[in-house]
Copies of this chain bind each other. A is one copy, B any other.
């Protein structure tokens, strides 16, 4: 199948922020069965991110407050070069900045690298103290950043949206209108707090974190479906997928490919193979020939 013009063997994609710092993890995830891999979100300067604990579990998912730890765009792109030197695979480079100028500078660097697709992280809930509200909740910011990036990018651009948006259809439409080639939906849901009752304290050092995992799947599917109905650009559906059936449901709702994040935590990297196998079995039983036959075929009641 194809996604944003790239030939991929499966729609399964490593989501940003999971392992994706080094070429070696990215290559490994491709070998373990992903069709595409996303790097951790890269900023102009290196970032240490938040102190630990940066991750906590609850009944239904995870909260994390990694805080966009990354070695900076220059070193990040070196890893992308090494990745491509060793394996055939599609790399999505995720970037984030404090303003449109940052995003443009980052996008230029990514365009000068061997990256296949650019993803704009407009929606990280873990740096609100630093950067205020996620851009993905502010229509004018989305338009400004996406159109500025599109003016300099020749590789396809994905805009990563937030589940906290109150009117996702409007956001999706204006993101498309600003020139985005595709949407990544959804980032983590902001915010959750997991409490340690014995210590009378939040578990995360940062007190709150973004919510991911199985529990956000119904939210992700709903938002993806809403966006699918109003845009023509493809959607990299992400949020709570951990089984083949999850992936199929999300593709039926409108996703053109599927991001996998928290499931790696829950099930290890083998999850790519198991999801792929489950998808294939379902497709065989129910008579779907191609992954692309699944996209957006959901009928509302």
- Interface residues, chain A, CB within 8 Å of chain B? 58-61, 63, 133, 137, 164, 166, 189, 191-195, 197-198, 200-202, 204-208, 211, 213-219, 221-222, 225, 240, 245, 248-250, 252-253, 282, 286, 297-301
Which of B191, B195, B219, B248 is the one whose CB lies under 8 Å from A197? Answer: B248
Min CB–CB distance A241 → chain B (angstroms):
11
User: Are B300 and A200 in contact, CB atoms less than 8 angstroms apart?
Assistant: no
Which of the listed residues A206, A215, A225 has the most CB atoms from chain B within 10 Å of its own CB? A215
Which of B58, B240, B282 is the one whose CB lies under 8 Å from A218? Answer: B58
Complex Cα gap A286–B115 (Å): 54
Which of the listed residues A193, A194, A240 has the most CB atoms from chain B within 10 Å of its own CB? A193
Count of identical protomers in the assembly: 2
User: Are B201 and A299 in contact, CB atoms less than 8 angstroms apart?
Assistant: yes
User: Are B206 and A301 in contact, CB atoms less than 8 angstroms apart?
Assistant: yes
Which of B60, B191, B298 is the one whose CB lies under 8 Å from A202? Answer: B298
Contacts of A253 in B (CB 8 A): 193, 195
* Known interface pairs A58-B215, A211-B218; 16 further A-B residue pairs with C-beta atoms within 8 A, sorted by A's residue number: A59-B60, A60-B61, A133-B166, A166-B166, A191-B222, A192-B221, A193-B225, A194-B218, A194-B221, A195-B250, A195-B252, A195-B298, A197-B248, A201-B301, A207-B300, A215-B215
Closest chain B residue, CB of each to CB of A56: B218
Contacts of A297 in B (CB 8 A): 200
13 residue pairs bridging A and B, Cβ less than 8 Å apart:
A59-B217, A166-B166, A191-B222, A194-B221, A197-B252, A200-B297, A201-B300, A201-B301, A202-B298, A202-B300, A202-B301, A205-B301, A215-B216
Complex Cα gap A207–B214 (Å): 19
Which of the listed residues A195, A201, A208 has the most CB atoms from chain B within 10 Å of its own CB? A195
Closest chain B residue, CB of each to CB of A282: B197
Min CB–CB distance A199 → chain B (angstroms):
9
